[in-house]
């Protein structure tokens, strides 16, 4: 049975009022504990001789669980529930981003320069030299986050409108971690030709495009065509952002177990956008033995149902995931919850590394293999070693935009992974810490510098100073 862990994504805030007497708060805390709520914070808002008003934040593991917390507090005698709300829904109320001006607009002089007639001079300058749009408009620091809503997180094909909260969140992360302005472009089509054509038509506004939550295999063609048919940066984060962070984490994990990337057996569960990109980057980094499994088992040369992307990684052996894991040094899961058993991990090589990254429920719960695997990572923030794309994409775009790189390359991704890995000092490196925190202020700058350095060395940067 999967153990559910309370977390902030299902948290509620409760404002309560009760008599100002000993034991009152203790009764509230006890009621929350009895329904397995996780009390996060308690703030005293107001207190008189007669009453106390407090605000409590409680983490839950589902909407139903959150409601049970509310009901438990509500049922207490002498305690009045003044307000209760879902903190995640409240955060999204009205959206998470906004557009604001960078220049003052207070006088007629300001207006004359910002708009007519002065703006005409800027228009003519760009018409004479379109490259100046990078310096004279928002283009040089603006990214379009494009999705068709066909593969939203692990939730499936939810459509354009339902993908908006994810894309807004992505925009928030771009700005917060790298100072990049980004805007969600959620398309009401899932036709490859229409997506490509739409992005091509809006490309003049943006310095780059972050493709997001577009299902495989369509995402591969969309990225390839846009790179060929536009002159701006194109990056599919589900592929390359994930691959960069996985490689960074794996580099450090291999240091801990004293194994070499070129000599180990790596099993990847999931042959979608993330799985295939991870395989490609690992191969570029020097991995020689990669076995990929999809829902039908190992990508075997004996199978007749493999698309072109999968055929590249077809191997002679056949079987299911359990077969693939026997003797494997590394498991990388970007697939489905609960598909790996403790016995399967026990069949792996000594000092096994397990990255169970399915979200929100991993391929195997870390608690089940703590005494079996040497290093464990997940995609969740409530376990050590979170494999989170935010370690990669803000800095990757920051560096590429700063040097006006023509495109992204595998060498840039390898450089980004190395930069992330190097931020965990050897004195800090342990089984509970193989990647830096997403809040480590050094990350985006280090990744940006690495990406910029590689772009200049490869001769694909317009700006080299």
Question: Hey, what domains does the chain have and what are their CATH numbers?
Answer: 7-92 (3.30.70.260), 112-231 (3.40.50.10380), 237-465 (3.40.50.720)
Banded pLDDT at 155 (limits 50, 70, 90) = confident
* 383 catalytically annotated: no
Token pair for residue 111?
């207006």
Token pair for residue 201?
């038509």
pLDDT value of position 92? 95
Question: Would you say residue 373 has pLDDT above 90?
Answer: yes
The residue whose two tokens read 């072109």 is 308
pLDDT value of position 299? 97
- Check: CB of residue 443 under 8 Å from CB of residue 420: yes
- Check: CB of residue 257 under 8 Å from CB of residue 375: yes
- Check: CB of residue 385 under 8 Å from CB of residue 428: no
Catalytic residue among 34, 71, 115, 296, which? 115
Characterize the bridge pairing of strands 265-269 and 142-147. unpaired
Catalytic residue among 170, 251, 259, 280, which? 170
Banded pLDDT at 3 (limits 50, 70, 90) = low
Prediction pTM value: 0.90
The whole-chain average pLDDT of the chain stands at: 94
């Amino acid at each position: 049975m999967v153990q559910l862990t309370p977390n902030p994504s299902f948290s509620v805030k409760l404002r309560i009022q009760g008599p100002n007497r000993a034991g009152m708060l203790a009764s509230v805390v006890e009621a929350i504990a009895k329904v397995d709520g996780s009390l996060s914070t308690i703030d005293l808002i107001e207190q008189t001789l007669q009453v106390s008003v407090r605000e409590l934040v409680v983490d839950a593991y589902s909407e139903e669980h959150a409601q049970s917390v509310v009901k438990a507090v509500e049922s207490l005698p002498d305690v009045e529930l003044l307000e209760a709300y879902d903190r995640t829904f409240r955060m999204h109320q009205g959206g998470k981003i906004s557009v604001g001006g960078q220049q003052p607009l207070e006088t007629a002089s300001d207006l004359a320069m910002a708009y007519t007639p002065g703006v005409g001079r800027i228009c003519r300058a760009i018409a004479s030299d379109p490259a100046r749009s990078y310096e004279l408009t928002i283009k040089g620091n603006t990214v379009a986050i494009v999705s068709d809503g066909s593969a939203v997180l692990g939730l499936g094909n939810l459509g354009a409108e339902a993908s908006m909260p994810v894309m807004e969140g992505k925009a928030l992360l771009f700005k917060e971690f790298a100072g990049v302005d980004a805007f969600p472009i959620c398309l009401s089509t899932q036709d490859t030709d229409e997506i490509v054509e739409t992005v091509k038509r809006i490309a003049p506004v943006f310095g780059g495009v972050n493709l997001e939550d577009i299902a495989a295999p369509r995402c591969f063609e969309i990225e390839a065509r846009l790179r060929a048919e536009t002159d701006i940066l194109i990056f599919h984060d589900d592929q390359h952002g994930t691959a960069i962070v996985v490689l960074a984490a794996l580099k450090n994990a291999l240091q801990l177990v004293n194994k070499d990337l070129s000599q180990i057996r790596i099993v990847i569960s999931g042959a979608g956008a993330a799985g295939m990109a991870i395989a490609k980057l690992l191969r570029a980094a020097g991995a020689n033995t990669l076995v990929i499994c999809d829902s039908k088992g190992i990508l075997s040369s004996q199978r007749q149902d493999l698309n072109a992307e999968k055929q590249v990684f077809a191997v002679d052996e056949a079987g299911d995931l359990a077969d693939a894991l026997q003797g494997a040094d590394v498991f990388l899961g970007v697939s489905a919850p609960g598909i790996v058993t403790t016995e399967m991990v026990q069949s792996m090589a000594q000092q096994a590394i397990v990255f169970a990254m399915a979200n929100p429920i991993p391929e195997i719960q870390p608690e089940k293999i703590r005494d079996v695997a040497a290093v464990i990572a997940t995609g969740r923030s409530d376990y050590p070693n979170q494999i989170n794309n935010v370690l990669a994409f803000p800095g990757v775009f920051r560096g590429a935009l700063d040097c006006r790189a023509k495109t992204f390359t595998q060498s840039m991704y390898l450089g980004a992974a190395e930069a992330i890995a190097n931020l965990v000092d050897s004195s800090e490196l342990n089984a509970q810490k193989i990647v830096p925190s997403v809040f480590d202020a050094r990350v985006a700058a280090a990744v940006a510098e690495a990406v910029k350095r590689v772009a200049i060395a490869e001769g694909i940067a317009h700006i080299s100073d």
